[in-house]
Amino acid sequence: MIELIKLSDPVTIQILRDALESRKIIFRIDNAGMNALMPLPTVMDARVMVAEDDKMAADLIIQDLELNQ
């Protein structure tokens, strides 16, 4: 698995999760919810990881959702 994007907003994470699931892309989200425990919001962002084979399709979803960083 490789890192697709880092996010801190739980709503954006859920939107991306729904989009990846609907397209049957293999993924996992590391550190989801951990930023709520930290004193600074971006100290530990959630990392969205995808299978290497699905990276190109996941990148297109990121572009469609305008999450490019």
SS3 state at 30: strand
First to last CA, the chain: 20
Query: Candidates 1.10.3720.10, 3.30.70.790, 3.10.20.310, 3.40.50.170; correct CATH number of 2-64?
Result: 3.30.70.790
Token pair in block for residue 49:
């990881």
pLDDT (tens digit, 9 = 90+) per residue, 15-51?
999 999 999 999 999 987 665 555 555 667 889 999 9
Contacts of 5 (CB under 8 A, 6+ apart): 16, 47, 48, 62, 67, 69
Q: Per mean pLDDT, which range of 4-13, 21-30, 52-61 is the poorest?
A: 4-13
| Number of helices (H), then strands (E), in the chain | 2, 3
- pTM, two decimals, is 0.81
Residue pLDDT, tens place only, 35-44: 555 555 566 7
